Copies of this chain bind each other. A is one copy, B any other.
Amino acid sequence: MLVVMNHGATSEQIEDVCERLRMLGVSPHPIPGIERMAIPVTGNTEMIDPQQIELMPGVMKVVRVGKPFKLVAREYKPEDTVINLDGLTIGGDELVVIAGPCAVESREQLLEVAHAVKEAGAVILRGGAFKPRTSPYSFQGLGERGLEILAEAREQTGLLVVTETIDPENVSLVEKYADILQVGARNMQNFTLLKRIGRSRKPVLLKRGISATIEELLMAAEYIFSEGNSKVILCERGVRTFNNYTRFTLDISTIPEVKRISHLPIIADPSHGTGRWRMVAPMAQASIAAGADGVIIEVHPQPKEALSDGPQSLNFQNFTKLMGVLDRIGQAMGRKIRKLNAEAH
């Protein structure tokens, strides 16, 4: 931490700041400059709120040098976290493709999609049973019936299942059916939910909030870690910018940045991240080429019938074509798309 004093700060003000820092258990080292005094601070500064010091008379600004997260930081754990689900790994050499409809609409729909995406090479099935929707009048999911259908699809195909859980009370129900619990973008800072999920034993797919900074995303993961669950997969799903030709701007540079400062795996969601099905394939390709550990793609048998988020879904043909390109880009990156064993199930 560095405290920078104003141009005309008095020696009394400087002494006040130093004394306060010492009271907080850290060591100030004032260094006079030509223009102003700088006070580097050593010791366990992570627990100090820089804004408290910033408010003291004579202080120009306080610069935090370290990061506010700990357990999820690469400095804390230099090697990559690899999450293992019955032999399938996320965060290692393998690339995973998660696919399925936005929402579970019916047994027929889900099973049809599940078989199709398995055929094309996906290993995890997505599908919402509880849907947080902007409008109270929109379809909000089939609820537990949707979870049952997802479980049946797993039985039939061997695909693992990821699905969203929307509030603390809802977690216990979703845990019974899902292999991976999803936290949606709108709930990334629902701290009660994060704490509850931190006490689950299931891996978590944590989506970046719509305008969350990377630091906030990692702090949300830190909440889950701090309660004991260290199986967190991050997901970039687009942020809000001035651009209006996509629903969100998929921020691909998040991928290398997260890899640099954290040990957690990260995947990309080009379907929600663009909201335009024509962009899903190029942005999925770009994500893998930037180092993502996988992608999550919306696939729908007849996208025009979809009850939610249709225009961002691929049909089977486009999804199959995309898988071919991803295979080749994965190889160009020295990685390999994970496929299900023929003999599984």
Contacts and interface: CB of A to CB of B under 8 A. Distances in A.
Interface stretch (A28-36, A79-87, A152-160, A174-182): A28-36
Interface in A151-187: 166-170, 186-187
Interface string A186-206: 110111110100000000000
Contacts of A242: 211, 213, 239-242
A132 B69 CA distance: 16
B51 A311 contact: yes
B43 A34 contact: yes
A128 to B, nearest CB: 13
B246 A253 contact: yes
A219 B135 contact: yes
Given A55-B303, A63-B2, A242-B211, A285 B278 contact: no
How many chain copies? 4
Contacts of A328: 331-332
B40 A38 contact: yes
A142 interface: no
A130 to B, nearest CB: 9
Interface in A234-271: 239-246, 249-253, 255-257, 260
Bin the interface of chain A by size.
35 or more
Contacts of A32: 42
A40 B40 contact: yes
A55 B7 CA distance: 29
A120 interface: no
A240 B257 contact: no
B244 A213 contact: yes
A273 B277 CA distance: 25
Interface string A57-79: 00011010110110000010000
Contact of A283 (B210, B223, B226, B253): B253
A272 to B, nearest CB: 13
25 contacts: A2-B63, A29-B31, A33-B42, A49-B138, A51-B311, A52-B305, A52-B311, A68-B134, A136-B223, A166-B191, A166-B192, A167-B192, A168-B169, A186-B190, A187-B190, A211-B211, A239-B241, A239-B243, A246-B257, A249-B249, A252-B283, A260-B278, A285-B289, A285-B290, A331-B332
Given A68-B134, A136-B226, A169-B192, 13 more contacts: A29-B31, A55-B303, A63-B63, A132-B191, A187-B190, A213-B242, A240-B242, A243-B251, A252-B283, A252-B286, A256-B279, A256-B282, A286-B290
